[in-house]
Amino acid sequence: MSKRIPLFVILLVVLSLTLVACGGQQVVEVTRVVTETQTEQVEVTRVVTETQTETITEEVEVTRVVEVEAAAAEPIIIGATGPLSAPGSVGGGIAMQFTAELAVDEINAAGGVMGRPIELIFVDTQGLPERGTAVAERLIEENGAVGIIGEYHSAVGLTMKEVCHERHIPCIFSETWNDDITASGYDEVFRLAVTSTLVASQQINWLEALGFEYVVIIAENTDYGVPASQAQVDFMTERGIDSDVFFVELGTEDFLPVLTRIQEGERTPDAIMVLVTGETSYNVEQQMAEIGLAPTEETVCVANQVAINAEYWDNVPDGNYCAYLRVGLTPNNYNDITKSVDDAYRTQFDRPAPSFALATYDSVYVMANAIEAAGSTDPDAIIAAIEATDVTLAQGHYYFPYGMNNPVPDDQPAWMWHQWPDAAVVIQQYFEVGQDPDNAAVVFPPAFQTHGTALIPYGETP
């Protein structure tokens, strides 16, 4: 008896599994039959009599109700990634998650895409490349994502793009600057953020305009910091500016050993440029100021772009006169969408929306619009629709000048492939302690200068 019970249980389990499996197939078949019926009835409508048409129309309406109900239970899944835990830039990831969800809520409130709601699955990558691979595969294989948007860290983007390519799923990167992400020329990969080279060229134009001869770069030892600093060094070498790069690990707190080493060096740098993200950049900048390395009359502090964030003054109280790169629009260039997203962001976080948060919001819309335009979730159709993007969103007017129908010409850099080319990049400089970034001086390029100068000298008021 004791031997029969397990056998009986096994048989029951096998039987149950078989029934469940058959049941699942039956549901699918029923759905298909309904759809086929609809198609046949519609075709008949065009040739039969008026009386017959009325009857048949009723049938079609019933069929549509069935379809809508089925679709309501089956949302279109869009994957999104960003760092939500250390060692990634958690603040960046949370900002991206918020605006991505904001966009999805708006789209669903407006009826969704192809009459179906969008379901956003936002996954934590921790800023780790290996996590990027794992989460992208999970989103595609397990969650059935038809496209992926987001990501903050280039190191993660570089691994994710390979998965997107191998699985042939469109990916729109919102804040990964590494040139190689789009330079790979993959059909599936798009970017709404700037590139390291684009940023570097703007900064070097500024340094050249100031007549600087020697610049020190402090860069994080990651797939963002290494190529970004290399791009800066290449540009500087071309323009005859000497440079040294000091690499640091993300998450380091104490920078005094290397900062005092720079301070005791033979040459006083004209500028120190910080290519380190997150709170680590604040530690670098404050410690530079504490020991009197920069900003000073001799050395300009070029802070990381996160100097635009509200917490800058709490963390770098001695950071007055630091310049920083501002990626994204200045408030006087905001359109209605930008204002709407910025308002929602301010309500949530009590600070202005950073460019990558806006870009993430826009990425959701670009992906959703493409699915709608494609009329299906077929990857090829979505990719073709993204290439044909022509829409104005929070960061401006989006389009992709180079793609499958218009390959990147030889005189353009390879990273222009599927690259939105019009991201705004200006250099701003604080000149008052606690200053709002919206009131900081725009010092470069000359066309946007607000105070008629490319640099406000240390200790002076423009």
Chain residues in the site for another protein (CB under 8 A): 85-87, 90-91, 93-94, 221, 244-249, 251-258, 260-261, 264-265, 278-280, 282-283, 286-287, 289-292, 309-311, 314-315, 317-318, 349
Q: What minimum distance in Å lies between the beta carbon of 262 and another protein?
A: 8
Choose between 260 and 406: whose C-beta lies nearer to another protein: 260
Q: Which is nearer to another protein, 60 or 245 (CB)?
A: 245
Taking the complex as a whole, how short is the minimal distance between the CB of residue 265 and another protein, in angstroms?
8
Query: Are the C-beta atoms of residues 42 and 60 closer than 8 Å to each other?
Result: yes
CB of 283 to another protein, least distance (A): 5
- Looking at beta carbons only, is 35 or 263 nearer to another protein? 263
Residue 456 phi/psi, 5-degree rounding, is -90, 115
Query: Token pair of 11, please?
Result: 């048989």
Cβ closer to another protein: 90 or 200? Answer: 90
Q: How far is the CB of 231 from another protein (least distance, A)?
A: 16
Q: How far is the CB of 413 from another protein (least distance, A)?
A: 26
Q: Report in angstroms how near the CB of residue 78 gets to another protein at its nearest.
A: 23
Q: How far is the CB of 276 from another protein (least distance, A)?
A: 11
Closer residue to another protein in complex, CB, 193/262: 262
Shortest CB 357 distance to another protein, Å: 13
- Whichever of 41 and 89 has its CB closer to another protein, that residue is 89
Q: Which is nearer to another protein, 172 or 353 (CB)?
A: 353
- For residue 212, which phi and psi values (nearest 5 degrees)? -70, 150
Q: Which is nearer to another protein, 74 or 249 (CB)?
A: 249
| Min CB(359)–another protein separation in Å | 18
Chain-centroid distance, C-alpha 328: 13
Written in H, E and C, the secondary structure of the chain is CCCHHHHHHHHHHHHHHHHHHHHHHHHHHHHHHHHHHHHHHHHHHCCCCHHHHHHHHHHHHHHHHHHHHHHHCCCEEEEEEECCCCCCCHHHHHHHHHHHHHHHHHHHHCCCECCECEEEEEEECCCCHHHHHHHHHHHHHCCCCCEEEECCCHHHHHHHHHHHHHHCCCEEECCCCCCHHHHCCCCCEEECCCCHHHHHHHHHHHHHHCCCCEEEEEEECCCCHHHHHHHHHHHHHHCCCEEEEEEECCCCCCCHHHHHHHHCCCCCCCEEEEECCHHHHHHHHHHHHHCCCCCCCCCEEEECHHHHCCCHHHHCCCCCCCEEEEECCCHHHCCHHHHHHHHHHHHHHCCCCCHHHHHHHHHHHHHHHHHHHHCCCCHHHHHHHHHCCCEEECCEEECCCCCCCCCCCCCCCHHHCCECCCCCEEEEECCCCCCCHHHCEEEECHHHCCCCCCCCCCCCCC
Minimum distance between the CB of residue 29 and another protein, rounded to whole angstroms? 45
- Nearest residue (CB) to another protein, 169 versus 293: 293
**Residue 176 or 287 having the CB closest to another protein:** 287
